[in-house]
Amino acid sequence: MGQVVLGLLWLIDGLLQFQPYMFGKTFITGVLLPNAVGQPGIIASPITWIANLIEPHVAIFNAFAATIQVAIGAGLLYRRTVKPALLASFAWALGIWFTGEGLGMIFTGSANPLTGAPGAALLYIVAGLIVWPRTRRTHNTTKRPQIKPYGLLGQPGTRLAWAALWLGSAALWLLPDNSSAGATHDAIAAVPSGAGWLTSILDSAANATAGHGTIIAIIMAGVSALIGVMVLRDWRATPALIAGVAISLIYWALGQGFGGILTEQATDVNAAPLVILIAALIYAHSRHQPTQPATAQPATS
């Protein structure tokens, strides 16, 4: 099921890439080049070079990019093509994370979990590693091999990835750009809308958070760290996962405008759906862990 959901998300991203906005030079000036702003030179220069390289052929490149993402999504829906599709997704997502997301803007000091940091593309890779199909051989040859949960990361690696995501979010909340009095208000006020009802919600949320950015950042840093540690240590992990899903939904609405999909200029659904998928995978796998048979104890006289 995780592969199917991940495939559907890739399909949606591919379809979004086919929007008319993406075929014009505004895709370069409005999506790619802003990722170079505030970056160290070693990151900004390649992003600018790639954007300038694409600009004269933006329509061709965009058609290629959209087709690749649709192909990845379709490949994840069929068992025989899952592994090639995942391999392609890892390579493509790395390119998107660098050029299309500026490494989540982490090195600019302005990366904010509310608006999608550390970037959806990185989370596509994490989710892909978790759903990578692995089989557990059974001693009984009459039984079909069982799918091994947690993919390539294994249970410890998956929980560690979750903890890294949320502990990283805690650290990002405490950055000066995210913890000033007006930071949360400004972040919400800049969220793309595309619909009157969403604009109304965003305006209300921005007004409600005005002047409270510091306390919000401190609270969210503490909550994020707790969510990460609880799942890592497997201490009341289910409530922590539920809290992570709830917060991600709030982020998706108030900080990401549902990925900006209502503006007809979104390139993807943003990070929150991927975080929710990862949480669901951790929960589902933990609920279906095989029980080990009890080892008989030797009799003592």
Note the pLDDT of residue 36.
97
Q: What DSSP state is assigned to residue 193?
A: -
Round the average pLDDT of the chain to a whole number and report it. Answer: 92
pTM for the full predicted model: 0.90
- Whole-number pLDDT of residue 150: 84
- Produce one character per residue of 25-56: b if its CB has 16 or more CB atoms within 10 Å, e if not: eebbeebbbebbeebeeebbeebbebbeebee
Cβ distance 127 to 119 under 8 Å? no
Question: How distant, in Å, are the alpha carbons of 3, 31, 167, 172 from that of 231?
Answer: 22, 35, 11, 19
Looking at 4-8, 201-205, 271-275, 296-300, which range is the least confident one? Answer: 296-300
- List, for residues 9-40, the tens digit of each pLDDT value: 999 999 999 999 999 999 999 999 999 999 99
Q: At what angle do helices 2-17 and 120-131 cross, to 10 degrees?
A: 150
The lowest-confidence range among 68-72, 89-93, 131-135, 230-234 is: 131-135
**How many CB atoms are closer than 10 A to CB 287?**
9
How far apart are the C-alpha atoms of 133 and 200, rounded to whole Å?
44
The letter for the amino acid at 133 is P
**Quick one: pLDDT band at residue 140, thresholds 50, 70, 90?**
low
Report how far residue 216's alpha carbon sits from residue 227's, in angstroms, rounded to the nearest whole number: 16
Q: Reply yes or no on whether the pLDDT at 297 is more than 60.
A: no
pLDDT of residue 292: 44
